Amino acid sequence: MPGPERVREFARAKINLFLHVGDKRPDGYHELVSLVAFADVGDELAFGPSSELRLSVEGPFAGSLAAEDDNLVLRAARALGMTADIALTKNLPVASGIGGGSADAAAALRGLARLHPDPGEAQLLAFAESLGSDIPACVLSKPLMMRGRGEQLELLPRFPILHAVLVNPSVAVPTGKVFAALQSRTGLGHTPHAFDLSGGEPLIRYLATTRNDLEAPALGFAPVIREVLGELRRMPGIRLVRMSGSGATCFGLFDSADAAAIAAIALEHSHPAWWVRAATLG
C-alpha cells in the first residue's frame, strides 16, 4: 500500500486592523482588544510521516530563521507529542508584526492534526494558547476579535474583503521591548462591541476611529516606520494607513484591488529594499 501523502498548510499573515492595549496583568501580559484579519500571503508548510521530528527551512527569509530547538514549529510539534518531516518555506519577514512565527506554529498544529489522528479544534486551541498569545487566532486564521492576552476569540463570519498593501522596511522590531516602552494606551472601553461589517466602506470608517497603541513605542525602535506610513499615505486610492502588531510592517487599505496593485508596484520601484505585497484581507 502507498504511504500517506504529504500534508500542506498555508500560514496566512495576521494583520491587526486595530490594537488597543489595556492594563498589564499579574502574569506579565497586557489586556488587549484587536480586530484581526488574515492576508492571502504567507508562509507554506509541508508535512510528511517520519519516525523523528525534523524541520527544514527554505525561502526568501530562511536565513533569518534557523531550524533550532526553540523554533515555534518544533515547539508546536512537541506540544502535540508528534513526529514528522516538516518543510517550512519562509515567505514572510521575521519579527515583523504580522504573526509570521505564530502563523507557522498554528499551521504546524493544523497540519500535524491532519497527518495524525485529529485531536480536535478545542484541543488545538488549548495547545496554541500554551505556545503564545497570537497562536490561537492563527489556528482559526479567520477574521475575529481578539481579547484577553489573545486567547479570547470571537469569529466574525460576515467580514468584507479589504484590498491592502503590506510593507515591511526590512527592520525587525522586538515585541517585548515595544510593550515595555508603551506610555499611552487606549484601553479596552473605547471599542464598541457592534460595528458595521456590511462592506469595506463602513468598516474603514469604523477603523478610522481606532488606532494601534503600539505604533508610538515601535517608532522609537524603528523610526523608518514613519517613512513607510508616509509613503502609503501618498498613494492614489488610499483609505487608511496603520502599523500592524508591534511592527514594523505597515498596511494601507485601498478603495480597489487595482489601486492596491498599482501602489505595490510603485513602492517596490521606489524602495527596492522594502518587502512589499498587495494582498486581500478577510
What positions carry a catalytic annotation? 14, 134
Alpha-carbon distance 190 to 207, whole Å?
12
Alpha-carbon distance 231 to 217, whole Å?
20
Alpha-carbon distance 218 to 233, whole Å?
19
Alpha-carbon distance 179 to 121, whole Å?
30
Report helix angle 121-131 to 72-80, nearest 10.
Answer: 130
Cell numbers linked to 65: 530563521
Determine contact, residues 260/161, Cβ cutoff 8 Å: no
Going by C-beta distance under 8 Å and a sequence separation of 6 or more, which residues neighbour residue 272? none
Reported as type and span, the H/E element at residue 137 is helix 135-140
Alpha carbon of 118 to those of 65, 114, 128, 133: distances in Å?
A: 28, 6, 15, 23
Alpha-carbon distance 135 to 119, whole Å?
17
Burial class (CB in 10 A: 0-12, 13-18, 19+), 240: buried
DSSP state, 70? T
Phi (first) and psi of residue 101, to 5 degrees: -65, -40
